[in-house]
Structure 1
């Protein structure tokens, strides 16, 4: 049976393009300035659609088997020609394999909804959260934690990429969804394994389904946005790989970024907002690394 998100009402940077890909090149990590890190090519996933390319960073630290499944799906070519077949305004864009027999061949994955508390590099947000005792960032990803529970997990913030499933927590296997607006009540119920670092404007432009009809599945003869290609950067020739970097969670650039969002002191604010951040109200900056031009 096709995987549909379970539950009530369920089941930044420059535009990435082929031209951008040709302008990027492998970068020397030593040349990456303090407070930034290069994204490993095996964790850089590209979804090509008619609206544009969606660039995703996988997170094998929290969800190693889910990251590996996406690498396998990309290598198989089975995503090509499939669609984002269930897109609900203000909720998620869900896509992937649509044929039940095809889905069964891949089989389900055991959920990786959380992991033991205490992951290295956690940087607290600095203010309270409604859903988790602690929130902050690890490696640029928004994270919730509970010391008493002994667990930490990735959050369903906008741009989070996760695996859809049926009622069984271990029933997901092939269909992904991208969060369009924060869905924090799903935290620890489904496995988040990545985040969109570029191209959310393309995802937001996907055709919507009617939530009142088959829970948002787009009805034939219409189709959702086509997945033209699913690629992992490490599978491309080295001189053709896009290279991206992102701010580290524990660096000064990210600290300054959060302060600029938290402390609004410009002349426009004649009534000063409280110095509070919503963990899902901003993203960790990421950008392509562009190769320097060389003279002939």
Structure 2
């Protein structure tokens, strides 16, 4: 004879079973969604931010736009040991106010915006350079590391280790961040800065010319990594890149403007120490645990919009966060 349980008991058992299932699901339901990279940066402790000295800033003021709004571009100059010969020249050029009245002469789509003396190739018209500029050899495109200990770094407590990224542009080497800058490194101990969006480099003619620093450009497109170790990189745009990337594209060869009326005038370029009321800036230390978590989040997006983490990121897709100091 089959006995049936009373309806009241069945109802009680069903309620208890449902409660047990809800209890098991509660942690997952209550868990916060994974933070986006921007949220990780916003929550970074003050100790993880590194001040950028005003003396390492180059401030370019362009002529106002068509609506009369000012256009300012702020560049952070690269720290030692990289490119110091060219940076020394740039400091002299800025101190001499050499760029005042010159122009943006080239804007090539998905490549670079370039500025300097539009008549620089014409000896009869070229603006005289300040005396005492250094002639920097091409060997200064790279720096030799003091040791190769980073080649066997222990992995960070993140699935994606930003400190050791294999890099096809470095042969059997890798890319990583060195004191806030994206760099490449190979097994010979050579280290060099890499061309990412917003990086600033020195225009030059054919080798052995390496450029003086009077002609500068910034990357406004996909990272042209083939230029690494072929041109000196001297800094990065940290504010105002939109004033360069949004300029009309040049119609001449390589994006050069064909008429003076197409060029954007440079009102002035000054070192940060000469600019009144210039905000203080700081960057997120690339040696910090916060940066490691930020880089991992860039490589493996787990915030609600994303379905599948990518599992990796190019070094140029991990821009070093820079902000006005708080």
TM-score, scaled relative to structure 1: 0.78
Q: Which has the higher contact order (CA 8 A, sep 6+)?
A: 1
- Identify if the C-alpha distance between structure 1 residues 125 and 71 changes in structure 2 by more than 3 Å, giving closer, same or farther: same
1:128 maps to what in 2?
A: 166
- Inter-partner Cα distance in structure 1 for 2:59 and 2:148: 27
1:204 maps to what in 2?
A: 245
Determine helix, strand or coil for the equivalent of 1:203: helix
1:75 maps to what in 2?
A: 95
Whichever structure has more helix as a proportion of its residues is 2
- Inter-partner Cα distance in structure 1 for 2:286 and 2:242: 24
- Inter-partner Cα distance in structure 2 for 1:59 and 1:82: 23
Q: Which runs of 5+ in 2 are unaligned?
A: 1-37, 39-44, 66-70, 151-160
Decide which structure has the larger Cα Rg and report it.
Answer: 2
- Inter-partner Cα distance in structure 1 for 2:309 and 2:271: 42
Offset from partner CA, 1:92-133 (integer Å, 9 cap, x none)? 111112333445635663143111124899795443222121
Determine if contact 1:121/1:139 at 8 Å carries over to the other structure. Answer: no
Kindly report the root-mean-square deviation, in angstroms, between the aligned alpha carbons of the 2 structures: 2.5
2:209 maps to what in 1?
A: 170
TM-score, scaled relative to structure 2: 0.71
Q: Which runs of 5+ in 1 are unaligned?
A: 1-12, 14-31, 291-296
- Inter-partner Cα distance in structure 2 for 1:207 and 1:225: 10
Determine if contact 1:37/1:248 at 8 Å carries over to the other structure. Answer: yes
- Identify if the C-alpha distance between structure 1 residues 119 and 226 changes in structure 2 by more than 3 Å, giving closer, same or farther: farther
Q: How does 1:17-166 map to 2 (within 5 A)?
A: 33-49=46-62, 50=64, 52-61=71-80, 62-100=82-120, 101=123, 102=126, 105-106=129-130, 109-110=135-136, 111=138, 112-118=140-146, 124-132=162-170, 133-148=173-188, 150-166=189-205
Residues 1:194 and 2:207 are matched in the alignment: no
Which stretch shows the higher mean deviation, 258-267 or 160-169?
Answer: 258-267
- Identify if the C-alpha distance between structure 1 residues 88 and 232 changes in structure 2 by more than 3 Å, giving closer, same or farther: same
Q: CA deviation at 1:262?
A: 1.7
1:7 maps to what in 2?
A: none
2:25 maps to what in 1?
A: none
- Inter-partner Cα distance in structure 1 for 2:148 and 2:178: 8
Residues 1:232 and 2:271 are matched in the alignment: yes
- Identify if the C-alpha distance between structure 1 residues 215 and 266 changes in structure 2 by more than 3 Å, giving closer, same or farther: closer
